[in-house]
Amino acid sequence: MELLERFAAGDLDAFESLFRQYQGEVYRWVMRIVRDPSVAEDLTVEAFWRAHKAHAGFHPEANFAAWLRRIATNLALDHLRKRRPYVELPDDLAAERKADSVVQQQTRAVLRKAFAELPPRLRIVAQLGLVEDESYAEIAQALGISAGVARTRMFRAVRLLRKKLRRLGVHA
């Protein structure tokens, strides 16, 4: 019996094989969204836990990685919704890479703050598309929406971000 068939039948060894095969990929994807290693680890485990619980509903012919990515994306989106509106990124991820002026550093901080205040469903699209350079097709598949909706959300995110930045006195 194939690995995915055994997983769908509830075989724990098959689940462990899939976990070991895909844990890095799921973690990297979630990290792109939440940018916090400990949260990404927790959400990775939670995504696999949900996949395990839903094993009976999984069709072995389906794309396991895409299914898992969608579960993980929904969890990451829930996390963004529950988190405080603005949380500064961990030091190593938000670190200033160059020896910049104070003004430039402040501008970056304002931009990060404005970005963190975007509605989560817009922010996740802008984060994956603009920052991480994922394609609309990838984003749409992960969120379970059409590429057209992903494009619309991207546009709305950029427009809203520009408006927020203007209000905060940053030209963008």
DSSP 90: P
How far is 80 from 112, CA to CA, in rounded Å?
14
Binding map of other proteins across residues 104-123, x = CB under 8 A, - = no contact = ---xxx-xx--x--------
Applying CB under 8 A, among 3, 60, 132, 149 the residue interacting with other proteins is 132
Contact call for residue 133 and other proteins (CB under 8 A): yes
Q: Using N-to-C axis directions, what is the helix angle for 64-82 and 12-34, rounded to 10°?
A: 50
**Is 135 one of the binding residues for other proteins (CB under 8 A)?**
yes
The whole-angstrom separation of Cα 70 and Cα 68 is 5
Cα–Cα distance for residue pair 21/84, rounded to 1 Å? 33
Can residue 172 be called a binding residue for other proteins (CB under 8 A)?
yes
Piece of the chain touching other proteins by CB under 8 A; list 3-11, 63-71, 74-82, 158-166: 158-166
| Structure tokens that stand for 59 in this block | 């069709």
Q: In Å, how far from its chain's centre is CA 49?
A: 18
Among 1, 28, 62, 163, binds other proteins (CB under 8 A): 28
Distance CA 147, CA 163 (A): 24
> Under the rule (CB under 8 A), what is the footprint of other proteins?
12, 16, 19-20, 23-24, 27-28, 31-32, 35, 37, 41, 44-46, 48-49, 52, 89, 92-94, 97, 107-109, 111-112, 115, 126-127, 129-133, 135-137, 147, 151, 154-155, 158-159, 161-162, 172
